[in-house]
Amino acid sequence: MSSEDLKALLEEEQAKYAELEVLYQNIIDHSTEVENELLENNKKIQMFMDRMRKYLSPQLHEMITGSKEDESSINSYQRRKLTIFFSDIVGFTTITDSIEPEILSDCLNKYLDVMSSIAIKYGGTIDKFIGDAIMIFFGAPVFENDTAHALNCVKMAIEMRDSLPALDEYWRKSGINHSLTCRIGINTGYVTVGNFGTNERMDYTIIGGPVNVASRLEHASEPGGVLISNATKSLIDEFIETRPKGEIVVKGVHTPIETYQVIGLKENQEKKENPFLKFDSNGFLLKPLHFDKISTDLEERRLMRFALEKALAALK
């Protein structure tokens, strides 16, 4: 092979190498472009997921976005025994008529934020907010057992009730001179749970008679009280101190509903002697109570409330 042939072959190989180098660089540039596009899409997806999380309970968010459930389970309807919670703020309509919308929105959002955090803490599925009203249920989409659902729901209600004084102080500092008090109703029963709505809009919610009973219990509860049905009480009687409050009649329910007022957790009351109330064989001694909206903490408030409720129950 002559030198000219070798030179031509070398030039040909160099040309091929140059083409390969250009092709390699194009691949690198394209892969970088694809990687950047993927990163950008992932950011958008994560942003969407974070926004969606604000509109869904943690359990429902996991059911929709997680890998544990398939589409058929998400779209199915189930008949389940759930514990249902309703609450609303006493006199909220009066408050809305006398407060500037900006102040009202801030205070209401603060209230709902605290209540939601407590609900999530105890594993409740937040169904919806209706103005100041809250609907929560236990037992779906994640099922544990009936007693755990009822007990967690009542514990949640007690903590919500005990958190109101601090929220009341926040409202007053914001310019609302209306005492922050809630009514709470809880019932346990079989309902249908699943997605209800149209092709354009669906709600994961529950329907059935026990839902109406829980709502009726909330309306029948005294301000600041937690009123539960006998169906719920039978599940948590070992753990929760209650007292009978009579029967209520609910439209569509053939028999009257026995109701009970929640006082507090038995374990707390048995382990800690109440400093304000002493019982003996002849009766009881109720010590003078000094209540201050600022200095009296949540535990003192709870003990005072319990002492008064036990004393009133003994008088009856």
Nearest to 149 by CA among 27, 56, 50, 232: 232
> Could you identify the residue written with the tokens 């009123």?
227
User: 244, 228 in Cβ contact below 8 A?
Assistant: no
Q: Where are the beta strands (DSSP E) in the chain?
A: 78-89, 125-130, 133-138, 182-197, 202-207, 226-229, 240-248, 257-265, 277-279, 284-286
Instruction: Give pLDDT tens digits for 152-169.
Output: 999 999 999 999 999 999
Q: pTM of the predicted model, to two decimals?
A: 0.70
Per the model's pLDDT, the better-predicted residue between 105 and 300 turns out to be: 105
The per-residue pLDDT for 16 is 75
Query: Which fold, 77-264?
Result: Alpha-Beta Plaits (3.30.70)
With the CA atoms of 117, 123, 128 and 129 taken in that order, what torsion angle do they form, in degrees rounded to the nearest 10?
-30
For the stretch 76-97, pLDDT in tens is 788 999 999 999 999 998 888 8
Residue 114 is predicted with a pLDDT of 95
Q: What is the pLDDT of residues 7-39, one digit of tens each?
A: 676 677 777 777 778 777 778 777 777 777 777
